[in-house]
């Protein structure tokens, strides 16, 4: 420890602490622009110059490590003179356009200028003008305002993983720019808006909408992935105008993914359903809540009374709150149905009943960046969990070895030590090889159960799999790690995999052999929560897949757009179309719901209170940040009244908190959660390792900005480069074998359904896989997202 003194206050700090960190610790404010605790130190703005005893020149507090006995003066004459002179330099070329600048009122330069700026400028020469750059639909640029602090450059390079912005030119001509004709396409790009200390980078969708002091700020939770990022929603006149991160080091640090930041624009979509609607003789009629709910209840009762509860299927989106999920389950059970599920995109349910608890990520989010060895199976990380990818990127930057087993080789913008890019079937094979290789490593004293051992007998281990096993076991570095912190994770693709059971069982066995953390990266905001609540088929109940395969007469849909959210779009479309009765709680009008009978306008997350449980088991409740639009009502209220109207018991709730209490049985949520989170298998299931398959398989990934109903309707996100017309992508060798040319139109067929798409050469895919995204209107005519697929010349 070092003893230093800042402005006369003594403080003890660690070796390597910089002056600015020590001052922050003491609550002494040193002005700064380029310094950011999450980024490398640039020391280029010079605003944080302070006086240090025995040094003739002022030193930058951000870049100067303290030494024992150092006496630092942040407000001495010399320090303030230096700071004021830097402020003067910063302002000479900065435009005086605060009145029309979106940053006005929340601008570091403005704030610090109040304290350190002069009332009038001594600069009477020409000012610099810098041309603006178009870097995409999310971030607006006013480059003349830029003070070249390079926070944006450093963020994209160090956190985003790719240097998408840089400073070109020298001296006064230095300017921040993207590569020629390129936009900034990082899935974390919006953070540069927060980082920019001036109005050079501002939010394009928010541009000129409001002044910061006109906005009401309310805390909430981001609803688009399983991370549970904490957000602050900014509202004016009852309308959400922007979303910013709340700083939460253990979840989202101070960042936010673009999906969580810009999805709010979808809340104001013209698609919003604002009144209850009933279909009479094929015609939609607007109606009031009482009529709608009575009608819905009557229909549900008629069918369940006549044909039994098993004719009702309940599909709940994993983005619904725990309260909504719970009440939907109560209704299903009350009507005698055990057909309820939230795992809309899962295709393999053989594990049901075999797990010991609620599947979760197996560790806490910050643990990821401390790991030494990481194996990710079936995940397009940046696409599925942008901020989790950032944690892994940090681990890799610190020397962790990352291995991937994936059916595509998308660039994760981090160093991958080992990768197996193979067909979905071969993914199982590779895991079996890793398991076999690992059981052969002498250092591991644990043995595999005989059934698994027998199974692995015929497996031949490839070099690559051997290398992965050795990496995971902590071998392969010059000095072996005694106990590497290892993590094995299954991503969204693995969870939609037709042989999820095999992937899961093998991965779990690998994890137990090498003592690794084993986890599931939950795809949606409340996947883990919905499981905990028990939105799962009962003993003879049907799961999400079976409910569509054997169509039900009645469906209750909570926040679901069936043809976009389910694993088999064509089947979902047909089941809904042919059902006698479909009651949909939905925030949006949508094409598939044309076939419904009752549409009940449900409030999206900003307009309801509720609870999400993240992939790490964190239970986070939030309140409505704005009033429901039109006649929209919070989901829990709708379901409660529906329960009452149906005459069911157990629906006497006056608030979402009461529903939450019922879920947790009056116990502390954390107690319930920690008792229930468990990824272990109760027993080994019969799994098959070797399956020879010569059929073409579809890789039906969910594009990042199609993951749920709100995101799909956010115009700025839909304008990004990440959103492209869907294509049928395949390896060049496969193209040749099929006699197709890159770019030609092809017929893509699954079962009876077919669509016309452009063929695209993509050598990041293994042979035997055709990548056709799901959750898009065009491809919503197709079938199973990882099923068999045919491609022929159109």
Partner 1 sequence: MAAFDTPVQHRSDKETLVCLRTLGQPDPASLQAYLNVGGYKQLQRLVQDKVKATDVITQVKLSGLRGRGGAGFPTGLKWSFMPRYYDGTKYLVCNTDEGEPGTFKDRDIIRYNPHQLIEGMAIAAYTLGARVGYNYIHGEIWQDYEIFERALDEARAAGFIGENLFGTTFSFDLFAVHGYGAYICGEETALIESIEGKKGQPRFKPPFPASYGVFGKPTNVNNTESYTSIPWILEHGGDAFQALGVPNSGGTKLFSVSGHVERPGNYEVRMGMPFTELLDIAGGVWKGRQLKAVIPGGPSTAVMPAAAIMGATMDYDGLSKAGSSLGAGSMIVMDETTCMVKTLKRLSYFFYEESCGQCTPCREGTGWLYRVVKRIVEGEGRMGDLDLLTDVSSNISGRTICALGDAAATPVLSFIKHFRPEFEYYIQHGKSMVTGKAE
Interface residue list for partner 1 (CB under 8 A):
41-47, 49, 56-58, 60, 63, 82, 85-86, 88-90, 92-93, 122-123, 125-126, 128, 147-148, 166-174
442/451 Cα distance (integer angstroms): 20
For partner 1, the closer of residues 49 and 327 by Cβ is 49
The 10 Å Cβ neighbour count of residue 649 is 9
Helices (H), 603-683: 635-645, 656-663, 669-676
In the complex, the smallest distance separating the C-beta of residue 35 from partner 1, rounded to whole angstroms, is 12
Nearest alpha carbon to residue 232 among 216, 217, 247: 217
Nearest alpha carbon to residue 73 among 4, 1, 3: 4
504/510 Cα distance (integer angstroms): 10
Question: Rounded to 5 degrees, what are φ and ψ at 154?
Answer: -65, -40
Nearest alpha carbon to residue 673 among 249, 347, 228: 228
Nearest alpha carbon to residue 346 among 218, 189, 499: 499
For partner 1, the closer of residues 141 and 390 by Cβ is 141
In the complex, the smallest distance separating the C-beta of residue 74 from partner 1, rounded to whole angstroms, is 15
In the complex, the smallest distance separating the C-beta of residue 149 from partner 1, rounded to whole angstroms, is 9
Nearest alpha carbon to residue 487 among 348, 388, 345, 353: 388
Dihedral, 180, 181, 185, 189 alpha carbons, nearest 10 = 70
In the complex, the smallest distance separating the C-beta of residue 200 from partner 1, rounded to whole angstroms, is 15
For partner 1, the closer of residues 76 and 85 by Cβ is 85
Q: Are 212 and 229 in contact (CB under 8 A)?
A: no
For partner 1, the closer of residues 110 and 380 by Cβ is 110
For partner 1, the closer of residues 172 and 480 by Cβ is 172
Contacts of 175 (CB under 8 A, 6+ apart): 130, 143, 146, 148, 167, 168, 169
In the complex, the smallest distance separating the C-beta of residue 164 from partner 1, rounded to whole angstroms, is 16
Nearest alpha carbon to residue 509 among 444, 432, 429: 432
- 28 in helix, strand or coil? coil
In the complex, the smallest distance separating the C-beta of residue 175 from partner 1, rounded to whole angstroms, is 9
Contacts of 530 (CB under 8 A, 6+ apart): 316, 318, 320, 322, 325, 342
For partner 1, the closer of residues 150 and 383 by Cβ is 150
For partner 1, the closer of residues 125 and 539 by Cβ is 125
Burial of 268 (0-12, 13-18, 19+ CB in 10 A): middle
Helices (H), 343-462: 365-368, 381-384, 386-397, 424-439, 450-456
For partner 1, the closer of residues 3 and 121 by Cβ is 121
End-to-end CA distance of the chain: 73
In the complex, the smallest distance separating the C-beta of residue 763 from partner 1, rounded to whole angstroms, is 28
For partner 1, the closer of residues 125 and 237 by Cβ is 125
- Across 37-72, b (16+ Cβ under 10 Å) vs e yields eebebbbbbbbbbbbbeeeeebbbbbbbebeeebeb
For partner 1, the closer of residues 270 and 399 by Cβ is 399
For partner 1, the closer of residues 174 and 275 by Cβ is 174
In the complex, the smallest distance separating the C-beta of residue 176 from partner 1, rounded to whole angstroms, is 11
Dihedral, 421, 422, 428, 430 alpha carbons, nearest 10 = -60
Q: Are 700 and 774 in contact (CB under 8 A)?
A: yes
DSSP string across 269-295: -TTB--S-EEEETTEEEE--HHHHHHH
In the complex, the smallest distance separating the C-beta of residue 719 from partner 1, rounded to whole angstroms, is 31
For partner 1, the closer of residues 32 and 497 by Cβ is 32
For partner 1, the closer of residues 147 and 521 by Cβ is 147
For partner 1, the closer of residues 40 and 680 by Cβ is 40
In the complex, the smallest distance separating the C-beta of residue 56 from partner 1, rounded to whole angstroms, is 7
In the complex, the smallest distance separating the C-beta of residue 26 from partner 1, rounded to whole angstroms, is 23
In the complex, the smallest distance separating the C-beta of residue 173 from partner 1, rounded to whole angstroms, is 7
For partner 1, the closer of residues 95 and 166 by Cβ is 166
For partner 1, the closer of residues 415 and 691 by Cβ is 415
CA distances from residue 99 to 104, 105, 193, 293, 516 in whole angstroms, order as listed: 7, 10, 19, 51, 56
Query: What 8-state DSSP symbol labels residue 419?
Result: E
In the complex, the smallest distance separating the C-beta of residue 197 from partner 1, rounded to whole angstroms, is 12
In the complex, the smallest distance separating the C-beta of residue 146 from partner 1, rounded to whole angstroms, is 11
678/359 Cα distance (integer angstroms): 6
In the complex, the smallest distance separating the C-beta of residue 103 from partner 1, rounded to whole angstroms, is 18
Burial of 161 (0-12, 13-18, 19+ CB in 10 A): buried
Sign of CA dihedral 212, 196, 16, 486: positive
In the complex, the smallest distance separating the C-beta of residue 101 from partner 1, rounded to whole angstroms, is 19
In the complex, the smallest distance separating the C-beta of residue 556 from partner 1, rounded to whole angstroms, is 60
In the complex, the smallest distance separating the C-beta of residue 150 from partner 1, rounded to whole angstroms, is 8
Question: Rounded to 5 degrees, what are φ and ψ at 550?
Answer: -110, 90
456/433 Cα distance (integer angstroms): 8
For partner 1, the closer of residues 171 and 270 by Cβ is 171
497/174 Cα distance (integer angstroms): 50
For partner 1, the closer of residues 121 and 655 by Cβ is 121
- 32 in helix, strand or coil? coil
């Amino acid at each position: 420890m070092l003893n230093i003194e800042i402005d006369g206050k003594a403080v003890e700090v660690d070796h390597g602490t910089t002056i600015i960190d020590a001052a922050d610790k003491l609550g002494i404010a040193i002005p700064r622009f380029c310094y950011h605790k999450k980024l490398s130190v640039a020391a280029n703005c010079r605003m944080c110059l302070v006086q240090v005893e025995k040094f003739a020149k002022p030193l930058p507090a951000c870049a100067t490590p303290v030494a024992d006995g150092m006496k630092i003066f942040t407000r001495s004459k010399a320090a303030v003179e230096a700071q004021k002179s830097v402020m003067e330099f910063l302002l000479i070329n900065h435009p005086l356009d605060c009145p029309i600048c979106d940053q006005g009122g929340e601008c570091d330069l403005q704030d610090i200028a109040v304290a350190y700026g002069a009332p009038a400028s001594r600069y009477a020469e020409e000012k610099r003008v810098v041309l603006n750059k178009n870097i995409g639909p999310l971030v607006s640029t006013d480059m003349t305002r830029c003070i070249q602090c390079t926070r944006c450059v450093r963020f994209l390079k160090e956190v985003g993983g790719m240097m998408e912005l840089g400073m070109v030119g020298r001296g006064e001509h230095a300017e921040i720019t993207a590569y020629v004709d390129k936009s900034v396409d990082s899935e974390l790009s919006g953070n540069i808006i927060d980082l920019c200390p001036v109005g050079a980078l501002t939010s394009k969708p928010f541009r000129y909408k409001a002044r910061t002091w006109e906005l009401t700020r309310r805390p909430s939770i981001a609803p688009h992935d399983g991370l549970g990022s904490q957000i602050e929603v900014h509202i004016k006149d009852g309308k959400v105008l922007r979303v910013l991160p709340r700083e939460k080091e253990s979840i989202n640090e101070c960042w936010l993914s673009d999906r969580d930041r810009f999805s709010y624009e979808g809340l104001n979509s013209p698609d919003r359903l604002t009144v209850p609607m009933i279909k009479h003789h094929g015609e939609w009629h607007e109606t009031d809540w009482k009529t709608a709910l009575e009608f819905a209840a009557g229909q549900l009762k008629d069918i369940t009374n006549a044909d039994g509860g098993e004719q009702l299927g309940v599909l709940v989106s994993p983005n619904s709150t725990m309260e909504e999920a719970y009440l939907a389950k109560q209704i299903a059970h009350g009507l005698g149905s055990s057909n309820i599920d939230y795992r809309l995109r899962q295709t393999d349910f053989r594990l049901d009943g075999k797990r010991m608890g609620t599947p979760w990520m197996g560790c806490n989010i910050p643990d990821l960046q401390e790991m030494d060895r990481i194996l990710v199976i079936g995940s397009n990380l940046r696409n599925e969990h942008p901020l989790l990818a950032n944690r892994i990127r940090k681990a890799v930057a610190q020397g962790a070895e990352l291995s991937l087993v994936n059916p595509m080789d998308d660039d994760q913008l981090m160093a991958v030590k080992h990768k197996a890019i193979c067909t979905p079937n071969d993914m199982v094979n590779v895991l079996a090889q890793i398991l076999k290789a690992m059981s052969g490593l002498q250092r591991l004293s644990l043995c595999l159960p005989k059934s698994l051992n027998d199974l692995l007998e015929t497996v031949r281990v490839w070099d690559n799999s051997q290398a992965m096993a050795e990496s995971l076991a902590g071998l392969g570095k010059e000095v072996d790690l005694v106990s590497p912190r290892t993590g094995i994770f299954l991503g969204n693709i693995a969870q939609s995999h037709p042989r999820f059971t095999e992937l899961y069982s093998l991965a779990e066995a690998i994890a137990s052999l090498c003592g690794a953390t084993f986890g599931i990266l939950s795809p949606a905001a409340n996947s883990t929560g919905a499981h905990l609540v028990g939105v799962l088929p009962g003993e003879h109940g049907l799961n999400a897949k079976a409910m569509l395969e054997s169509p039900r007469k009645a469906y209750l849909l909570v926040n679901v757009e069936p043809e976009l959210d389910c694993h088999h779009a064509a089947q979902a479309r047909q089941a809904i179309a042919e059902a006698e009765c479909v009651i949909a709680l939905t925030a949006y009008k949508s094409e598939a719901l044309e076939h419904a009978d009752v549409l009940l306008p449900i409030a999206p997350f900003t307009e309801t209170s509720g609870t999400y449980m993240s992939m790490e088991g964190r239970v986070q409740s939030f309140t409505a940040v704005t009033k429901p639009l039109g006649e929209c009502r919070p989901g829990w209220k709708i379901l409660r009244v529906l329960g009452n109207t149906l005459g069911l018991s157990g629906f006497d709730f006056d608030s979402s908190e009461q529903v939450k209490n019922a879920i947790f049985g009056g116990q502390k949520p954390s107690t319930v959660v920690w008792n229930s989170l468990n990824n272990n298998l109760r027993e080994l299931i019969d799994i098959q390792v070797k399956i020879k398959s010569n059929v073409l398989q579809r890789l039906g990934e969910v594009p990042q900005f199609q993951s749920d109903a709100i995101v799909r309707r956010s115009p700025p996100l839909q304008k990004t480069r990440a959103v492209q017309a869907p294509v049928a992508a395949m390896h060049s060798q496969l193209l040749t074998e099929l006699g197709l040319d890159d770019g030609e139109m092809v017929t893509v067929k699954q079962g009876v359904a077919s669509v016309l798409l452009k063929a695209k050469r993509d050598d990041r895919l293994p042979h035997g896989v055709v990548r056709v995204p799901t959750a898009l209107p065009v491809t919503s005519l197709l079938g199973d997202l990882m099923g068999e697929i045919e491609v022929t010349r159109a």
